[in-house]
């Protein structure tokens, strides 16, 4: 009999929980210590394309994995907020992993420009993450400065790394 158990991926790490974040809706915090590179959650849901039927809920909760394709999630991955000083990043296309050790009670975040590169400049958001390195406007990987790309090396979505997208200053 084949061992099927090892084929089942961990969709959501049991060390995380959904909480209300003051002033920022919902978010994910650690309820146990998380190790560097531990899998946090995965985008495992519906695939949508540029010309699919979108609604706001979908648009706010998908991850980009190709020039015109995004994926939603059934689990908690969609509740991870953006930060300009994140503690999580991407493994491959759909898996959120810890970029460093995370303490109990710490909010888990990733940088949305690790995955997004919509051609449409309207696809951006104002960031109020409050970190010292806050870039204020978040939207597309092409605007992610090279120094930050180097800092995120190994944790940027593989579709963006493979596409070798040059840096473009935000105007
Ligand atoms: Zn920010």
Task: Give the distance (Å) from ligand 1 centre to CA of residue 55.
Answer: 25
Tell me, yes or no, whether 94 lies in a domain. Answer: yes
Between 73-77, 136-140, 151-155, the lowest mean confidence (pLDDT) is in 73-77
Task: Give the distance (Å) from ligand 1 centre to CA of residue 128.
Answer: 5
Tell me, yes or no, whether 64 lies in a domain. Answer: yes
State the pLDDT confidence band at 170, using cuts at 50, 70 and 90: confident
- In the chain, the number of structural domains is 1
Task: Give the distance (Å) from ligand 1 centre to CA of residue 141.
Answer: 14
* Predicted model pTM: 0.90
Tell me, yes or no, whether 68 lies in a domain. Answer: yes
pLDDT in tens, 79-94: 999 999 999 999 999 9
Tell me, yes or no, whether 98 lies in a domain. Answer: yes
- Is residue 109 over pLDDT 60? yes
CATH of the domain at 37: 2.170.270.10
More confident residue, 101 or 3: 101
Tokens of 124: 């951006």
Task: Give the distance (Å) from ligand 1 centre to CA of residue 83.
Answer: 5
Tell me, yes or no, whether 5 lies in a domain. Answer: no
Tell me, yes or no, whether 171 lies in a domain. Answer: no
In this structure, the dihedral spanned by the alpha carbons of residues 132, 168, 108 and 43, taken in order and rounded to 10 degrees, is 170
Domain that includes residue 130, residue range? 10-163
Distance CA(28)–CA(20), nearest Å, equals: 8
Task: Give the distance (Å) from ligand 1 centre to CA of residue 17.
Answer: 22
Tell me, yes or no, whether 2 lies in a domain. Answer: no
State the pLDDT confidence band at 10, using cuts at 50, 70 and 90: low
State the pLDDT confidence band at 95, using cuts at 50, 70 and 90: very high
- Number of alpha helices (DSSP H) and beta strands (DSSP E) in the chain: 3, 12
Task: Give the distance (Å) from ligand 1 centre to CA of residue 22.
Answer: 16
Quote the pLDDT of residue 112.
Answer: 96
Measuring CA to CA, which residue among 85, 98, 82, 69 is closest to residue 10? 98
**Contact present, 116 and 127 (Cβ < 8 Å):** no
**Contact present, 73 and 20 (Cβ < 8 Å):** no
More confident residue, 7 or 38: 38
Measuring CA to CA, which residue among 169, 16, 13, 17 is closest to residue 91? 13
Tell me, yes or no, whether 40 lies in a domain. Answer: yes
Quote the pLDDT of residue 144.
Answer: 97
């Amino acid at each position: 009999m084949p061992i099927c158990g090892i084929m089942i991926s961990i969709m959501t790490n049991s060390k995380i929980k959904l909480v209300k974040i003051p002033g920022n809706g919902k978010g994910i915090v650690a309820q146990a210590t998380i190790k560097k590179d531990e899998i946090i959650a995965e985008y495992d849901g519906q695939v949508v394309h540029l010309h699919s039927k979108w609604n706001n809920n979908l648009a706010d909760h998908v991850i980009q994995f190709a020039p015109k394709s995004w994926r939603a999630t059934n689990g908690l991955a969609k509740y991870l907020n953006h930060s300009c000083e994140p503690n999580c990043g991407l493994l491959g296309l759909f898996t959120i992993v810890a970029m460093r050790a995370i303490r109990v009670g710490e909010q888990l975040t990733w940088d949305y420009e690790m995955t997004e590169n919509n051609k449409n400049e309207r696809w951006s958001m104002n960031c109020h993450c409050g970190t010292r390195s806050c870039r204020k406007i978040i939207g597309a990987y092409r605007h992610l400065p090279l120094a930050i790309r180097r800092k995120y090396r190994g944790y940027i979505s593989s579709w963006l790394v493979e596409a070798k997208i040059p840096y473009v200053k935000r105007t």
